Amino acid sequence: MPVQDLEKIFQEKIDQEIKIEPRDWMPEAYRKTNIRQISQHAHSEVVGMLPEGNWISRAPSLKRKAILLAKVQDEGGHGLYLYSAAETLGMSRDEMISDLLSGKAKYSSIFNYPALTWADMGAVGWLVDGAAILNQVMLCRTSYGPYARAMVRICKEESFHQRQGFEALLVLSRGTDAQKAMCQESINRWWWPSLMMFGPKDSESTNSDQSMKWKIKRKTNDELRQQFVDMIAEQIKVLGMRLPDDQLKWNEERKHYDFGEINWDEFWNVVKGNGPCNKQRLDARKKAHDDGAWVRAAALAYAAKKINTKNEKAA
């Protein structure tokens, strides 16, 4: 069958909301876009463990430590679900990991910002996970079956992440003056980077159009960002804190909050590798990968030895 016909059938399936499964024919660009997006998403989960992992030993109570451990463990699991989904498209796990470590593959820039205070654990949960969830809820309906199934699983676990973050900030917001100040300072630092998580403006995003047509994405960057601002602008009232944006204002006509302009120079700078922690994060991943090499080799050798012993007994 000519490629044009295959592409027509493919698009018809997408239009009828029929999910694409790994062995179905798909345009090469669809495969590549999904591999790129899913593996980036997986890398983000894995690198995302680092800023929080740093606070496990410094958590203020046993309860907070247990919560943080559970959350970081979830993120490792989310990375696994996503790597598996990307592998169904024909890229090996080793290849993805090596692309991450060489800097060829990207991950969410948000994790290139440092987590300086305990309040950051709250702000990361509330704002960063909050932003991620909006994207992930949309992706539960993405057109590629394995990706959609991974997202459903992730969303089920993710809502605890956002709630625990908000609750941690709530406790601080009702605490001493020093705790309140720590809470506000943390929100100040995380607000703008969180808005940047949704990516470039629609007018400048190169991937959006085709991704929408293929239903890999179902909402544009700007739509999701607006949804996020509307949600957070209300929730911050409960905390009695303020968002660091003088232009944030309810627009009765649009029925949405207006907000100020993002510092796009900063955005591109961090994407290109010049954020505060880009090097530190990659170095940490490389070290973990190198230090774990003997464990991976030993496990394989042990498995091979067990099989050999079994075969010898049978013979």
Partner 1 sequence: MAFQINKNFYGDIPDDGSGATLPQTATETKNEWPLWEIFIRSKQGLDHKHVGSLHAADAAMAIENARDVYTRRMEGVSIWAVESKYVHASNPDDAESFYEPSEDKIYRHPTFYQLPDEVNHM
Interacting residue ranges for partner 1, rule: CB under 8 A: 3, 6, 21-28, 31, 70, 73-74, 76-77, 80-81, 84, 87-95, 98, 146, 149-150, 153, 157, 296-297, 299-300, 302-303, 306
Q: Could you tell me the smallest distance in angstroms from the CB atom of residue 7 to partner 1?
A: 9
Scan for tokens 């929100």, then name that residue: 187
Bridge partners (DSSP) listed for residue 114: none
Q: Could you tell me the smallest distance in angstroms from the CB atom of residue 187 to partner 1?
A: 30
Q: Measured between alpha carbons, how far is residue 82 from residues 38, 42, 129, 133, 277 in Å?
A: 6, 5, 17, 15, 24
Residue closer to partner 1 (CB basis): 11 or 92: 92
Q: Could you tell me the smallest distance in angstroms from the CB atom of residue 123 to partner 1?
A: 25
Q: Could you tell me the smallest distance in angstroms from the CB atom of residue 218 to partner 1?
A: 23
Residue closer to partner 1 (CB basis): 24 or 234: 24
**13: its two tokens:** 């399936």
Task: Please give the single-letter amino acid code of residue 115.
Answer: A
Residue closer to partner 1 (CB basis): 15 or 21: 21
Residue closer to partner 1 (CB basis): 26 or 127: 26
SS3 content of the chain, % helix, strand, coil (to 5): 70, 5, 25
- Cβ count near 135 (within 10 Å): 20
Q: Could you tell me the smallest distance in angstroms from the CB atom of residue 23 to partner 1?
A: 5
The radius of gyration of the chain's CA atoms, rounded to the nearest angstrom, is 22
Q: Could you tell me the smallest distance in angstroms from the CB atom of residue 56 to partner 1?
A: 17
Per-residue DSSP letter, 257: E
Residue closer to partner 1 (CB basis): 3 or 181: 3
Residue closer to partner 1 (CB basis): 17 or 28: 28
**113: its two tokens:** 């910002």
Residue closer to partner 1 (CB basis): 40 or 220: 40
Q: Measured between alpha carbons, how far is residue 256 from residues 162, 181, 241, 253, 259 in Å?
A: 22, 29, 20, 8, 9
Scan for tokens 């909006």, then name that residue: 134
Residue whose C-alpha is closest to residue 117's, from 169, 153, 157: 169
Is 131 within 8 Å of 88 (Cβ atoms)?
A: no
Residue 90 backbone phi and psi in degrees, to 5:
105, 10
Q: How far is CA 193 from the centre of its chain?
A: 13
Cα torsion angle, 134, 137, 141, 142, sign = positive
Q: Could you tell me the smallest distance in angstroms from the CB atom of residue 77 to partner 1?
A: 4
Residue closer to partner 1 (CB basis): 21 or 209: 21
Q: Could you tell me the smallest distance in angstroms from the CB atom of residue 170 to partner 1?
A: 24
Report the alpha-carbon distance of residue 80 to residue 128 in Å, rounded: 20
